[in-house]
């Protein structure tokens, strides 16, 4: 975030997972003047905005997967597609600008949307498209 968009991280909020609560990260945070806030264990309510956005992302990815009859093993590609779309869709919270417009501070991006899924199934290389389960 600091190098890609010339923005400085001021506060990082995380759960008490070991990936962020360790000596190396604490040293990094102190060196760079980053305030590290942690939430109580098993309380996603304390980080409601991020939790809700993650839920929205996964629900949208699941809908694309099911509606497009895309095999379940393409789940990761589906999530990347949804993130790509979300970053390019105007938001009322951002005065109807896209997240990329706000981060990069430039005009609207050209429209690059197409039909989903836009890849082809090659016979013999993978199984035919199957309907995914609704709770995957």
Q: By the 8 A CB rule, do 55 and 31 touch?
A: no
Quick one: pLDDT at residue 95? 93
pLDDT tens for 58-72 read: 999 999 889 888 888
Q: By the 8 A CB rule, do 126 and 71 touch?
A: yes
118 and 62 within one domain: yes
Instruction: Give the chain's mean pLDDT.
Output: 79
Number of domains in the chain: 2
Quick one: pLDDT at residue 2? 66
Q: Read off the pLDDT band of 127 (50, 70, 90).
A: very low
37 and 67 within one domain: no
125 and 111 within one domain: yes
How far, CA to CA in Å, does 1 sit from each of 12, 122, 130?
A: 12, 38, 38
CA atoms within 13 A on the CB side of 119: 13
Sequence length of the chain is: 136
Q: Provide the residue range defining the domain that includes 37.
A: 1-42
Tokens of residue 17, six digits: 């997972």
Quick one: pLDDT at residue 125? 44
């Amino acid at each position: 975030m600091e190098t890609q968009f010339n923005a400085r991280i001021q506060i990082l909020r995380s759960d008490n997972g070991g990936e962020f609560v360790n000596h190396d990260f604490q040293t990094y945070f102190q060196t760079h003047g980053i305030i590290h806030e942690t939430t109580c264990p098993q309380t996603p309510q304390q980080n409601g905005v991020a939790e809700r956005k993650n839920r929205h992302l996964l629900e949208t990815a699941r809908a694309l997967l099911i509606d497009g009859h895309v095999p379940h093993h393409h789940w990761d590609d589906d999530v990347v597609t949804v993130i790509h779309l979300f970053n390019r869709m105007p938001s009322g919270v951002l005065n109807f600008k896209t997240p990329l417009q706000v981060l990069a501070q430039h005009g609207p991006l050209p429209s690059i949307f197409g039909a989903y899924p836009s890849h082809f199934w090659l016979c013999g290389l993978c199984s035919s498209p199957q309907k995914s389960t609704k709770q995957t």
